[in-house]
Amino acid sequence: MTKPRDVVVATHGHCFDGMASAAVFTHLMRAISPGQPLEFRYRSCGYGPGMTMIPEAWLDGDDNAILDFRFTPTERLTWYFDHHITGFGSTEERDAALQRGQQPKPGGRPLRIFYDAAYGSCTKLIADVARERFGVENETLKELVRWADLIDAARFPSAEAAIDRTEPVLQLASVVEHHGDGPFLKNAVPRLLERPVGEVARDPDFAELYRPLAAAQEAFIARVKKNGEVMGRVVLVDLTDAPLEGAAKFATYALYPQCVYSVTLTRAKQHCKISVGYNPWCGQERQHDIAAICRRYEGGGHPVVGAASFPLSEMARAREVARSIARELDA
C-alpha cells in the first residue's frame, strides 16, 4: 500500500478567505496528484504579539503550503499563495522568494509561489492559478470563490448589507471568524469540496454554532454605538472595557456612515488588537495606506484595511497608538 503524501496547509485562521483558500488549494493538490494518496493537515494561523510569521517547525510535511498569510523564509515551504501587500517582511525577502521560485537551489525543494496584491481575496488567486496554470476547475467551488472574494474585498452594495446576517453564508463566515481553528478546518474543508457553500452553511452543526454569535454580534453593535468617538473623518472605538465575545465587521461604517476611516481597539484573553479600515461606502477617496501604518507596529494587511496586536500588558500603549493612528488618518 502506497504511503499517503503528507500535505500541511497553513492558512489564515478564523477567516473565511483562509478557510476557502484551504478548500480550493486542497482540490488543486488532489487534481495534480492523480493516483497519489494525499493526507491533509490544516493549521490555523493568526497574527499576535511576537508572531509575525509561521514558525518553521509547523511546516513539517512532505508538501508545505502557506495560504493568505505572511511568508516564512524556509526551504521547507513548497507552495505560497498570498494577496496582502504586507505578505513579505521586506522587498529583499520578496525578491529572494520569487527568485527561489524561478531558480530553486540544486537539491533544494522547489517553491511554487503565487503572489499578487491586486487580488481582493487569496481564494480567487488560487482558483485563477489553478485554472490558468494547471487547467484545474471545480464547479462546486465556484460559489465559494465568489463569496470569499465578496467578503474579503468588502464588495457589498452598502454597509448595512455587509452586517446583515440573514444570509446563511454570512452566518458561516461569522462562525469561521469565531471557531476557525485547525480542527474546524479539517471538518469544514471536505464538506466544501463536496457541496456548494450555500448548502454547507445550512448544516445543523454550523447553524447551532451561529446561534450564540447572533446575540454577541448585536451586543457588539450596541457597544460600538455607545463607545464610538468621532474625530473628524475618523471614528475611534475603544472596546477594551470588556473582552470581545463576538464582532460584526463593518458595523462602524453602518453606524457612522459619514466617517472615512475607523480605528477599533478590542481585547481578547491574551492580547489586544487595533483594527483599522477605510469605509468603501463613504463616497470619498482613500488617502492613506493602512497596511503601511499597521506595519510600523508589526502588523499588516491591505491598503484599505489592516491590524496590529499588542500584549495585554501594553494596553495603555495600544490605546495611545490607536488614538495616534486616528489623528493621522484625520490629518
> Whole-prediction pTM value?
0.89
Q: What is the pLDDT of residue 160?
A: 92
Q: What is the pLDDT of residue 252?
A: 95
Q: What is the pLDDT of residue 233?
A: 97
Give the Cα separation of 216 and 161 in Å (integer).
18
Give the chain's domains with CATH numbers.
5-202 (3.90.1640), 219-330 (3.10.310.30)
Measure the N-to-C terminal CA separation of the chain; round to a whole number of Å. Answer: 66
With beta carbons less than 8 A apart as the criterion, state whether 255 and 227 touch: no
Q: What is the pLDDT of residue 327?
A: 98
With beta carbons less than 8 A apart as the criterion, state whether 285 and 260 touch: no
Q: What is the mean pLDDT, run by run of 10 residues, along the chain of 331 residues? A: 91 96 98 95 84 86 97 96 93 92 78 96 98 97 97 92 92 94 97 98 97 91 94 96 80 95 91 94 96 93 93 94 98 89
Give the Cα separation of 48 and 70 in Å (integer).
12
Q: What is the pLDDT of residue 106?
A: 72
Q: What is the pLDDT of residue 119?
A: 97
With beta carbons less than 8 A apart as the criterion, state whether 239 and 262 touch: no
Q: What is the pLDDT of residue 2?
A: 76
